[in-house]
Structure 1
Amino acid sequence: MKAETQRKRLERCQKDIDAHPEKATAHYNLGLALTISGRVKQAEETYLKAVELDPSLVKAWVNLGGVRMLHWDFQGCLEANQEAARLQDDLVIAHFNMGQAYLYLNDPENLIRCNKRVLEIERDHPAAHYYAAVGYLATSDLGATERHLGRAIELGHSPTHDFFKAMEKAHTKKFHQQSKTLIEITGEKTPDSNHKEE
C-alpha cells in the first residue's frame, strides 16, 4: 500500500471538514496535518475550532498548546495545556508542556511543580528529571539539582553544556559563600582563655 502524501492528507482532511463542519475530530485531524506541514498558525486556528465544537477533546487542547509553543506563545501554550490537565490530570504530556512554558516564562518554581507532577505519573521520565534539575538549579537547591540530574543521565538524557557550566558556577558561588563563614584559628587569646579552672 502506497503511503499517503502530505498534500493528499491535507485534501482528505479538508474534504472531511467540508462534509462534516460540525465534527470536532475532523478539525483536529486537519490541525494535525497542518502541524506536520509546518503551518502552525493555520493549525492553531483549526485546533481552536475543534475545542470550540468539543471542549472535552483533550488531544486538541494539547496540540493547541504545542503549536502555540512552536510560535513562542508560551502563555497560550500554558493555558491550553492547563485545560488539557483539568480534563485529564494524569496526562503526562500536558504537565510536561506546562513545565516547558514555565521554563520560557522564567518561573522555576512552577517548572519544578509541573515536572514533579510528571514524575508522580511516570517516575522514570528522563526529560522531567532533567527539567526538574534545571528548575532546582535556578532556585539554588544544588542537592535536588544533583539528584534529578543524576537520574536523568541514568535514564539516558543528555544535559546541555550550558547546564553544566551553570551548575559549576552555582557550586563555585556556594563554595565562596561557605568560605566566608569559616573562622581562622590564630595564636590570639579567645574570650574564654582568661577563665581559670578552680
Structure 2
Amino acid sequence: MQTNANNVDEFIAECKDKLKDNPGCGHTYYNMGVAYLSKGDFFEAESAFREAVENSPTLAEAYVQLGGIAMHQGDLDGCLNYNQLAIQARPMFATPHGNVGFVLLQKGEVNKAARSLEKAVKIDPKFVQALTTLGSAYLMENDVERAIDVCRRALEVEPMFGPAWNNLALAALEQGETAKAVEYVDKALETGFDVPQGLLDEVEQYR
C-alpha cells in the first residue's frame, strides 16, 4: 500500500480515509491492524483484523495475526483455531503450520505438533523457528539424531539463533557428549538467549 504518512497515526488515518471510499477492502483493514499492533493497541488491532477476514475470508495473514493476539492473551485454543483457519484459507502458507505445531507442543500433543512442524519446514525449508521447534518435538519423542539435524539446518540459516543452540546442548547431554553440551550452552548464551536455569546447572558440573 502506497502511503504519504510520516508516522503510524497518519498511516492509520490514511487507512480510515481509504475505507470511506472502499469499506469492503480487507487488505486496508489488515494494514491498519498491523499499524495498531505496532502501537501496542491490541484491542483496535484485533478489531481491524476481524474486519479484514470478514471482508476477505482468504486473507490468511489476518488469521495468523489474530492467532498472535490470542497467544498474547494466553488463549492457546484461540491461537490454534485462528491458525487452522489460516491453513484452510491458504494451505501452502508455512507460518500457520508452524504456529499450530508450536501451540500443540505447548498443549503436550507432541506427535501432532511434530507433524504440523514438518509440514511447515517442507513448505519453507528455511523457516528457522519451525525447524527449531521441530527439534524440540523430536527431543520429546527421543529422536535425538533428527533433532540435531533440524537444529543444525536452522543454524545454517541463522547462526545466532539461541533456541537452536539450546536444543543442541540438550541433545548433546542425551548422547553423553558433555563437552559439546557446555560449548552449545555457551553459544546459546552468546546470542542473548535466556538458557533455562536447570540446563545451566546441569552443564556447570562439566566445566
Tell me the equivalent position of 1:151.
153
Q: Is the 8 Å Cα contact of residues 133 and 149 (structure 1) preserved in structure 2?
A: yes
Q: Quote the offset at 1:17 in angstroms.
A: 3.2
* In structure 2, C-alpha distance between the alignment counterparts of 1:150 and 1:56, rounded to whole Å: 34
Which residue is 2:27 aligned to? Answer: 25
Unaligned regions of 5+ residues in structure 1, if any? 173-198
The match for 2:107 is 105
Cα deviation for residue 144 of structure 1 reads 1.6
Gaps in structure 2 of 5+ consecutive residues: 177-207
CA distance in 1, matches of 2:44, 2:28: 14
1:155 Cα offset (Å): 2.8
Distance 1:47 1:68 in 2: 12
The 1-side partners of 2:169 and 2:11 are apart by 45
Cα distance in structure 2, aligned partners of 1:138 and 1:41: 36
- Compare CA radii of gyration and give the structure with the larger one: 1
1:120 CA displacement? 1.4
SS of 2:63's equivalent in the other structure is: helix
Which residue of structure 2 aligns with residue 167 of structure 1? 171
Among 126, 131, 134, the alignment partner of 1:132 is 134
Q: 2:45 is aligned with what amino acid? A: A
Alignment check: 8 A CA contact 1:40 1:70 kept: no
> For 1:91-131, what per-residue CA distance to the aligned partner results, in whole angstroms no more than 9, with x for missing partners?
11121222222233333222211221122112233332211
Residue 65 of structure 1 pairs with residue 67 of structure 2: yes
- The count of aligned residue pairs is 172
8 Å CA contact retained: 1:61, 1:84: yes
Q: CA RMSD in A?
A: 2.5
One-letter code aligned to 1:12: E
Q: 1:153–1:159: 8 Å Cα contact kept in structure 2?
A: no
1:9 paired with 2:11, answer yes
SS at match of 2:142: coil
Q: TM-score by structure 1 length?
A: 0.73
Contact (CA 8 Å) 1:99, 1:110: kept in 2 or not? yes
The percentage of counterpart residues that share the same residue type is 24
Q: Distance in 1 between matches of 2:5 and 2:54?
A: 32
Alpha-carbon shift at residue 18 of structure 1 (Å) = 4.1
Letter of the 1:40 partner, please give it.
F
